[in-house]
């Protein structure tokens, strides 16, 4: 059993790459990225944004993930869909659940060259980067599927794990109300782009000045699939099936934490906010959590919290993504 990009992959062999390669250059955020604008791999599909796929394709990935989870718990050693496959993992951003590297794409050689070299060694590439433009260039020149492990713009793998978790806990995802409380960051962009494909109610509750990318909000609303709201009113959590939060200052933004602690003080997900949502509300966090800031122990460790089930489902959801993308 090997961990690949935060996913334990049954039957995968060790990637035939030496040092993972990274880039640490934050780039200007863009709103209207589309995976359909890059060259497709020779076989399979890239996984860059949730709305690059149809509703049916997203549900297929989730079904495959749920099936892989059943096989994992059954300890079915005959289930080895990745046997003989290799994965290259590229890191800019560190993660407690993935291997860490500090080298730089584009410093030794261009991203497009790296893409073509790694494509010759591996069946799939997972990249966890700062700049979304780097991800797009990587996919453009890769002949194998590229999976978005996270960028400053979005984090689609996490959202797929969240949808799997909500489905397990609530018995459904379509039609639920998800209230995100905090910074309008890459998590929010992913929820918004999901809202363009699968119908649910999404409310982003953030302090003034911390709203998500306006074009991405417009994209989600224009799709006419989901009910999407961006507000600074904490009362918008009322009736939520899920309250979701993230750290106030993401990687590379820690110098802004002092100001954010003032601006976000009333947006902490604490017992009072959970009570305002109602007894039906489940608490979720993509981790790592800054306990005492965006949330508190009394919520993290409560019966309403499913953060560790959510964390485990990263493995299963990502297996489903890889099964789909590798065709």
Rounded Cα distance between 60 and 93, Å, is 29
- Give the neighbor-by-neighbor strand order of the sheet with 242-245: 227-231, 201-205, 177-181, 242-245, 282-285
Rounded Cα distance between 5 and 87, Å, is 9
| Alpha carbons within 13 A on the beta-carbon side of 80 | 11
Active site residue 4: no
Catalytic residue among 4, 206, 281, 286: 286
Instruction: For residue 277, give both structure tokens.
Output: 């949502």
Rounded Cα distance between 313 and 300, Å, is 17
Residue 130's nearest CA partner among 242, 45, 62, 29 is 29
Contacts of 275 (CB under 8 A, 6+ apart): none
CB of 7 closer than 8 Å to CB of 314:
yes
CB of 299 closer than 8 Å to CB of 305:
yes
Report CA Rg, the chain: 19
Rounded Cα distance between 79 and 65, Å, is 13
Q: Which residue has the tokens 């799997």?
A: 164
| Alpha carbons within 13 A on the beta-carbon side of 43 | 8
Q: Which residues are catalytic?
A: 286
């Amino acid at each position: 059993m090997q961990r690949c990009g935060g996913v334990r992959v049954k039957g995968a062999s060790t990637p035939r790459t030496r040092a993972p390669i990274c880039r640490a250059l934050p780039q200007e955020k863009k709103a209207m990225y589309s995976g359909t604008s890059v060259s497709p791999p020779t076989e399979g599909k890239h996984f860059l944004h949730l709305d690059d796929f149809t509703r049916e394709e997203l549900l297929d990935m989730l079904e495959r993930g749920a099936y892989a989870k059943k096989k994992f718990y059954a300890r079915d050693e005959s289930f080895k869909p990745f046997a003989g496959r290799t994965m290259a993992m590229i890191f800019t951003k560190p993660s407690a659940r993935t291997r860490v590297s500090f080298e730089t794409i584009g410093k030794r050689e261009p991203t497009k060259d790296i893409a073509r070299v790694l494509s010759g060694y591996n069946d799939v590439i997972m990249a966890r980067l700062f700049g979304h433009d780097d991800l797009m260039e990587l996919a453009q020149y890769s002949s194998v599927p590229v999976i978005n492990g996270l960028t400053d713009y979005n984090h689609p793998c996490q959202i797929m794990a969240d949808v799997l978790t909500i489905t397990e806990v609530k018995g459904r995802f379509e039609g639920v109300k998800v209230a995100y409380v905090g910074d309008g960051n890459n998590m929010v962009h992913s929820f918004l782009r999901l809202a363009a494909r699968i119908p649910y109610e999404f409310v982003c509750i953030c302090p003034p000045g911390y709203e998500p990318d306006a074009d991405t909000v417009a994209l989600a609303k224009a799709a006419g699939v989901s009910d999407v709201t961006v507000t600074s009113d904490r009362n918008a959590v009322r009736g939520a099936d899920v309250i979701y939060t993230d750290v106030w200052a993401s990687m590379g933004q820690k110098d802004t934490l002092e100001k954010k602690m003032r601006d976000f003080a009333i947006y902490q997900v604490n017992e009072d906010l959970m009570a305002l949502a109602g007894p039906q509300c489940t608490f979720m966090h993509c981790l790592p959590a800054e306990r005492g800031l965006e949330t508190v122990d009394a919520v993290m460790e409560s019966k309403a919290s499913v953060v560790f089930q959510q964390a485990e489902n990263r493995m299963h959801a990502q297996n489903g993504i890889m099964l789909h993308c590798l065709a």
